[in-house]
Structure 1
């Protein structure tokens, strides 16, 4: 199989239009299941695997590091990881200083058993001066530890500030991407983040393209025990989306899916994948069968009328559609 590929923003980095996220690895997804998913993903023509030191306390990176020496070739993957964010006990700590970022990167490379990552992302906006944060990105590329650099969870002015700083001097490495939450239940990125990315030649990597799992349709009749919403550790993540409004959105997607002979998550994922400025839609399935269903999205083409109807139901037209 061959999945559609895209370049990220104005760069030469090529990624699959659907990316595989590893947030649940080591928690709700054990190594056997994660290994099976990566193999299926690569067989289907996918290459972008997104991870972070914080996922499973390093477990996700370690597993990818094993797989590129046993199951797949290093060159089969575009490995995207992050730095500057750790979970200490119940606290989330952001540290975007040069020392913290480079320490994180060295740890990632050790766990990933590779000498470079393909895309290295600042996990969140921090208190360190942006010049210092960006200098660490430049250093990583110049030292051969990262091929491309981007940011994650930056709002519009933050990504524009960082991108402008990088472009102000030809010796600095341009930012290629901003990874933000974006789905039919979370369209805020369209207001400032997407236009900022487009203006600066950056692509969006959309995390939680399925609305933190809610757009998979699994919560239509309650919260399944084995879901994130049913887990003590991750229910905080899903709860904000278990609302009457999101139920109405899911029912609208059900109608579209029936009409197009596709499944609910496939429609929700195709909508994100084909939105303006999106380079790749990231999904975090917990099982290989969930992943198989999502990979089937490659054959799904949303007619313009369906796209517009879904836009209307979830907050109105996407103003970038006509200009993209």
Structure 2
């Protein structure tokens, strides 16, 4: 392992790509996070040694437009490992995969224009849709061959889908990464997917490691007016993690945090970031204050007994979050 400005960097799978242990998700930028807050987020993340910054192709493209501007004005493009998800239609709960060659390459070209760059460092194919896997892989191969992407991977794939795609990928364009939801309240990937990724030489990027904010403890006693659960376009991210079994997990995280004298979200982030085979945990902080708290997890390694206790209390969540 290496460190950069205090943050560990890791190889993604068996590739030569290295990313910071914590990644920064930007999908709220331009909508819930304005340009001034986003600029502060990006600066603080880079100063802490963070390199992995993730966005996705969306119809409106607010996140990409804002991120593209900031990569010219605030943080040098060369200092960022830019990850882009493509291959889906719609937004929010209506988002559906479309892995056709037409959609993947059209998404990529539009996103590159919005991001004001000629390439992304990691291109992730989101879901699979009904396009043949060979067609999906040929689109990723074309992205690399043309110089528009340096590495490729997948997102929101099941274990068998990942294993099949990795086995069929051209030798010159192997899959190096798989992004999946992984947290103490959504542990479906903490098993077959991690096993499939390890066998395929693929590194996992843990999405939503805070369970949509539930693992921060903010929903223990009330529903904050400025929270994701109170937002019409984000409530679907949080709602699955507000049931009684999830509340037990949250209480255990808060107890561990008290014992370690850390914030609950730092404990939850450290747990997700250090699952075997995980290259980075990607957090979508919406404010600079949230990010500064998340960055306190950069140097946190959970004691083995706390990890074991959290594993045990969250066993009931092992099937939550599985892709449909």
What TM-score, normalized to structure 2? Answer: 0.94
The answer to whether structure 1 residue 43 and structure 2 residue 34 are counterparts is no
> What is the match of residue 193 of structure 2?
193
The answer to whether structure 1 residue 53 and structure 2 residue 61 are counterparts is no
CA distance in 1, matches of 2:302, 2:317: 15
> What is the match of residue 212 of structure 1?
212
Q: What SS is found at the alignment partner of 2:229? A: coil
- State the Cα deviation string for residues 126-161 of structure 1 (Å, max 9, x = none): 111100110011111111100000000000010111
> What is the match of residue 141 of structure 2?
138
The answer to whether structure 1 residue 68 and structure 2 residue 90 are counterparts is no
Does the 8 Å CA contact 1:152/1:178 hold for their aligned counterparts? yes
Does the 8 Å CA contact 2:273/2:279 hold for their aligned counterparts? yes
Structure-to-structure mapping, 1:189-268, within 5 angstroms:
189-268=189-268
Q: What SS is found at the alignment partner of 2:315? A: coil
CA distance in 1, matches of 2:308, 2:162: 28
RMSD: 1.7
Q: What SS is found at the alignment partner of 1:63? A: helix
CA distance in 2, matches of 1:251, 1:311: 13
CA distance in 1, matches of 2:317, 2:268: 16
Q: What SS is found at the alignment partner of 1:205? A: strand
> What is the match of residue 107 of structure 1?
110
- State the Cα deviation string for residues 253-292 of structure 1 (Å, max 9, x = none): 1111111111100001000111101000010111101100
Cα shift at 1:88: 6.6
The answer to whether structure 1 residue 31 and structure 2 residue 35 are counterparts is yes
Does the 8 Å CA contact 2:93/2:236 hold for their aligned counterparts? no
CA distance in 2, matches of 1:193, 1:303: 25
CA distance in 2, matches of 1:180, 1:93: 16
Q: Which runs of structure 1 show a deviation greater than 3 angstroms over 4 or more consecutive aligned residues?
A: 88-91
> What is the match of residue 277 of structure 2?
277
Which stretch of structure 1 is more off in the superposition, 229-238 or 115-124? Answer: 229-238
CA distance in 2, matches of 1:228, 1:16: 26
> What is the match of residue 123 of structure 2?
120
Q: What SS is found at the alignment partner of 1:140? A: helix
Q: What SS is found at the alignment partner of 2:186? A: coil
> What is the match of residue 322 of structure 2?
none
CA distance in 1, matches of 2:21, 2:8: 6
The gaps in structure 2 that reach 5 residues or longer are 319-324
The answer to whether structure 1 residue 286 and structure 2 residue 290 are counterparts is no
Q: What SS is found at the alignment partner of 1:188? A: coil
CA distance in 1, matches of 2:92, 2:47: 37
> What is the match of residue 18 of structure 2?
14
CA distance in 2, matches of 1:22, 1:317: 26
CA distance in 2, matches of 1:120, 1:39: 23
Q: What SS is found at the alignment partner of 2:165? A: helix
